[in-house]
Structure 1
């Protein structure tokens, strides 16, 4: 059926055509890596960190299943940040190896490319669930108050707000996320659902930084999402199902990066059909 084909399709050598050989080498050349930073994001908290262009970053479920909410910015200009909805169109609603996260207008370029995903084989389960979700967004205290009448300060939105403050960013800079390790889909009524996180200790999602990046991650207070966050059954605090997420940043062998260059911002530089004002002294 013609209508089921992807609307945004890659042509050979075009901007959506990924050099899989290059990113495959970046993933497999483990001996030539140098660890430059490693830390753990505790449960129900957030942390921000930088990943220089040409480095790889690995997110790891260190001791059990855990959902993480990821934000990404150009570290030199936070107006350029992850554009979740366009990434859904250009890539997929659930991303994996060789997919990219794209940035907002007027930049429109890949911020990162996923190089390794131990959950890539999960695919689509019997209920339509898939992993590493761009369909939904972060949990937040505003929706929680609306649905429950209660305040809770450690939703992913709040965790990300606290995480980016040391970098001069505010709540207005926090944006729609990549829900790492989260299993979601749309039910028969076209409504968003969340399932138990299928990650196990040692599972990871790894990406190659196309630009100098500022990243921030929240360890979701729902943990592995085996307990509903709202509605029936949500009266149980899922803290026992919460786990930390490890973060590792590696410098790659410079030889491996030969021929790679950071992506240019979008070529369109016009004025959207508006006339340029005439200047007179």
Structure 2
């Protein structure tokens, strides 16, 4: 069949999401509960740190705490990994989170763990960029902030595309950050790109835009379980001079000029009544055997 005679596939005019929350399910979020946490003054700062440019940091968070990632000096992309605090095998499942919530996440969305655990690791409670900016959706150019479409920059693909061995990458930052907690390189996984604006063009190709964050922007979440978190202050900075390699030869702009630090803040909820009725989610309750048929042995009579 020639190209000119192929029938044209006609999608639905208004596609229906494949995964919709049913009333009373875990996806039917209690917005009042999370709004109360987001706005309460009954919180005590128990940990804070400034993460220098082009570096990474990992830290543990107790369930029931609030965590805020900030841009203390202005626009900067943050690559985020998260695991259950004592089990590197349970970690963010980016693709399932995309299906359940969206390619770009925001307030009330959750980050889900992989199989066989499948539970929300955290729930997003605050997003100052989306409070300040709208992201209109052009059907040819869908764009949003806090990205689950792409993943971290890494030295392997950089070498593939630039022909150079460069050490400044989010993958490497995250790897170094988790070593003190017993992590290894294979524990680094697909990230949530906090503060990063991305989309797919009319050909379905991934693109990145300059980070719109300003000094003092934040991304806040509630820890549903005990967590190990890790972030990388992306060596591409705000992505305004992004290129494979350590600089743009044409413009002579080094990406380091676009890099800024990130801030970490962890808060304990001091008014415990705000947590009344909340329970840390358990792992998925599937009790089948995946269709395997096991022999039944009977003793001789």
TM-score bracket, normalised by the shorter chain, equals over 0.9
Q: Distance in 1 between matches of 2:298 and 2:52?
A: 59
Moved more, 59-68 or 262-271: 262-271
Asked if the contact 1:129/1:195 (under 8 Å) is kept, the reply is: no
Moved more, 239-248 or 113-122: 113-122
Q: Distance in 2 between matches of 1:44 and 1:50?
A: 21
- 1:25 paired with 2:39, answer no
| Partner residue of 1:115 out of 94, 104, 125 | 125
Unaligned runs of 5+ in 1: none
User: For 1:1-281, what aligned pairs fall within 5 Å after superposition?
Assistant: 1=12, 4-29=15-40, 31-121=41-131, 122-125=133-136, 127-230=141-244, 234-235=248-249, 236-252=253-269, 253-278=271-296
RMSD across aligned C-alpha pairs, in angstroms?
1.7
Q: Distance in 2 between matches of 1:48 and 1:224?
A: 21
Change in 2 beyond 3 A, CA 1:224/1:275 = same
Shift of 1:279: 6.8
Shift of 1:280: 8.7
TM-score, structure 1 as length reference:
0.95
Q: Distance in 2 between matches of 1:51 and 1:117?
A: 19
Q: Distance in 1 between matches of 2:207 and 2:248?
A: 15
| Residues matched between the structures, number | 279
Change in 2 beyond 3 A, CA 1:2/1:128 = closer
3-state SS in 2 of match to 1:164: helix
Shift of 1:264: 1.3
TM-score, structure 2 as length reference:
0.89
Shift of 1:2: 6.8
Unaligned runs of 5+ in 2: 1-11
